């Protein structure tokens, strides 16, 4: 990371924020093996349709997913597979820590 100005840091923070929510990650995770419509994603995320719709439009606003309506349904898919690189990096770090540091485990377990 090169030295970043104020503005840039805010963009980056917003990007991370889009990924900082379990339901949205569940949706992104579910989209790994191809597009799914809102109904399917609602089932998978085990929340209300309205809630999923809200998360989807946020993800779409941030350019993380693509939207395509066909017939009666709206299909979402991953716009940029680079998201998964990010998640993989994070998962690696987390799993490394799980082995090495009991303290971190405690933190993540909290709540």
Residue numbers of the site for DNA (CB under 7 A)?
17, 21-23, 37-39, 42, 47-51, 53-58, 67, 69, 71-75, 111
DSSP string, 65-103: EEEEEETTEEEEEES-THHHHHHHHHHHHHHHHHHH-HH
- Residue 45: phi and psi, rounded to 5, are -85, -10
Does 101 bind a second copy (CB under 8 A)? Our answer is: yes
Supply the minimum distance, in Å, between the C-beta of residue 21 and DNA. Answer: 5
Does 68 bind a second copy (CB under 8 A)? Our answer is: no
CA geometry: angle at 106 spanning 45 and 13, to 5°?
60
Residues touching a second copy: how many (CB under 8 A)?
46
Supply the minimum distance, in Å, between the C-beta of residue 39 and a second copy. Answer: 20
């Amino acid at each position: 990371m090169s030295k970043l100005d104020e503005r840039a840091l805010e963009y980056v923070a917003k990007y991370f924020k889009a990924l900082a929510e379990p339901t949205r990650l569940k949706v992104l995770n579910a989209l790994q093996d191809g597009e799914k419509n809102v109904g399917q994603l609602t089932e998978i995320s085990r929340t209300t349709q309205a809630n999923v719709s809200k998360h989807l439009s946020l993800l779409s606003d941030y350019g993380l997913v693509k939207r395509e309506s066909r017939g009666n349904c709206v299909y979402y898919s991953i716009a940029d597979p680079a998201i998964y690189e990010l998640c993989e990096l994070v998962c690696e770090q987390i799993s490394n820590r799980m082995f090495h540091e009991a303290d971190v485990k405690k933190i993540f377990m909290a709540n």
